[in-house]
Amino acid sequence: MDQLVVSKNDLAAMTIAEAAVQIRSRELSPVDLAAATFKRIAALDGQLHSHILVLEEAGMAAAKEAEAEIAAGRWRGPLHGMPIGLKDIYGTAGIPTTAHSALLRDHVPTRDAACVTRLRDAGAIFTGKLSTWEFAIGGTSFDLPWPPARNPWNLEYDPSGSSSGSAAAVAAGLCLGAMGSDTGGSIRGPAAWCGIAGLKPTYGLVSKAGVLPLSFSLDHAGPMCWTAEDCALMMQVLAGHDPNDPTSADVALPDFSDMEAPIAGVRVGVVRHFFERDMPCEPDVAAAFEESLRVLRGLGAVVADVVIAPFDDYAAAAGQISRAESYAIHEADLRATPELYGAIFRQRVAAGAFVRGVDYVNAQRARARLVAELAVTMRGVDVLMFPTARKVAPKMAADKSLGGAFYNRAFNLTGSPALSVCNGFSAAGLPIALQIVGRPFEDPLVLRVGAAYERATPWRARRPGV
């Protein structure tokens, strides 16, 4: 297949931060930006399959409204007039929300998810409902009502998931930001393989009310953008307590406004055993990571190795919790209409029927220990760092493997903020990524380290097909 091309002069190649400055000063019209975005979706999404539903009519109407408001001096903030996509598990009032599943083909919520309301109130323009692995877990599947999203760096390659459409759309310039969700790495994995930034915020910092759940105690809602700075702009809108989400944290809101502050003195703990011993990564991933550490040292960061629990300890606990909780959600439908799910979803979720109550409790006990141990380690460092994935994207295939390609799910278990940023490319031109993990509610620091790294390296200037 042909490569997609994002021209550097294209509106689609702007970041949210850049576009916001121009929209506020009225150099850039939200209507022109939205029109260019929908034109691009029409031209490219037939190959990319990042959208289940394009919201052009409503999006253009919202863009005209944004333009009129800004002209009248009522600029709402950096997301005003910004084209944003929604993973199709985010409830949208009056608009189908399918979870990419035949089971919900005709599901139309009556309410917006809390995140959707926050983004709408901030003036965002919703471009469409984006492809996902089925119910945010199914895997790359070809037996669902819509095809799986493809990787814009090479359409024959997998974008990862579950927020596959979100990552593919942002990387291809079909929206400037998108909402993803992350239960075992579903924001960070596709962000890594599609070469963008993706933040899994601290558990409880962003409301999940109105988002179709997968695993109550591991689910996180979060932003996916071209840069860490853009993720911070989205987090400024998304973060906050929500009484309608029982897991929402009622804490003082972190300030995401200063992404330019230097990172000299920030203590970086490298979890070397994750990628050298627990689940060894490929050589080009290791080389990119070591070069990234050199860059960070150059920025004044203090880098040292740390040891935490083996990755498999985290994966075992997270796996049982996720399976039990997701089966609790889907048991009735799996019993009544198993044929309405895809094969990979059935394989992954129906196994939750065989997790005993005592296994779930002991997995939660293991979780408590792992959280406490990590808290001790993180008294000595400000952030942890390691590659996001042990390898670059593989070719598209119906993914039935349950083996791990990512170092992600440990931090769903601990609830820590975790950011994936692009830190290079393989010889084949596929993105490589590193991950930055912080203490709970220190999401701004995690983003600040990512933003500093992105400014110091050339990777954000490279777009798919350029």
Residues serving a catalytic function are 87, 162, 186
C-alpha distances (whole Å) from 444 to each of 106, 171, 240, 449 are: 39, 23, 14, 9
Helices and strands (DSSP H and E) totals, the chain: 14, 11
User: Considering only CA atoms, which of 195, 205, 238, 263 is closest in space to residue 446?
Assistant: 263
Question: What residue spans of 255-401 are helical by DSSP H?
Answer: 272-273, 283-298, 311-336, 343-349, 357-377
Min. distance of Cβ 360 from another protein in angstroms?
9
DSSP state of 265: T
Output the smallest distance, CB 77 to another protein, in A.
27
φ, ψ dihedrals at 211, nearest 5°:
-100, 130
Nearer to another protein, 249 or 296 (CB): 249
How far apart, in whole angstroms, are the C-alpha atoms of residue 195 and residue 425?
9
Nearest to 443, CA basis, from 241, 231, 125 = 231
Cβ proximity to another protein: between 232 and 350 the closer is: 350
Q: Which residues contact residue 356 at a Cβ distance below 8 angstroms, ignoring those fewer than 6 apart?
A: none
Residues contacting residue 188 through CB under 8 Å, at least 6 positions apart: 182, 198, 200, 388, 406, 408, 418, 419, 420, 433, 435
Reduced to 3 states, what is the DSSP secondary structure of residue 62? Answer: helix
To another protein, the closest distance from the beta carbon of 325 in angstroms equals: 12
Q: Which residues bind another protein (CB under 8 A)?
A: 202-204, 217, 249, 251, 312-313, 315-317, 319-320, 323, 334-335, 338, 343, 346-348, 350-351, 353-355, 359, 361-369, 371, 375, 378, 400-403, 414-416, 439-441
Q: Are 445 and 202 in contact (CB under 8 A)?
A: no
Nearer CB in complex with another protein: 246/280 = 246
Cα→Cα distances 428→176, 282, 432, Å: 25, 14, 11
Residue 147 DSSP class: P
Give the shortest CB-312-to-another protein separation in angstroms.
6
DSSP element (H, E) containing 54 = strand 51-54
Q: Which is nearer to another protein, 35 or 316 (CB)?
A: 316
Please, what is the Cα angle at 255 between 254 and 257, to 5 degrees?
155
Could you give the dihedral angle defined by the CA atoms of residues 320, 321, 325 and 330, in that order, rounded to the nearest 10 degrees? -30
Locate the DSSP E strands across 296-417.
302-305, 383-387
Tokens linked to 265: 């003195």
- 292 preceded by cis ω (within 30°)? no
Q: Least distance in Å: CB of 275 to another protein?
A: 20
What's the closest the beta carbon of residue 334 comes to another protein, in angstroms? 6
Q: Is the dihedral of CA 331, 337, 340, 341 positive or negative?
A: positive
Residue (112 or 182) nearer to another protein, CB: 182
Residue nearer to another protein on the CB measure, 2 or 339: 339
Q: Which helix (DSSP H) or strand (DSSP E) does residue 65 occupy?
A: helix 56-71
Least separation in angstroms between CB 64 and another protein = 42
| Rounded CA separation 273/279 (Å) | 8
CB of 189 to another protein, least distance (A): 17
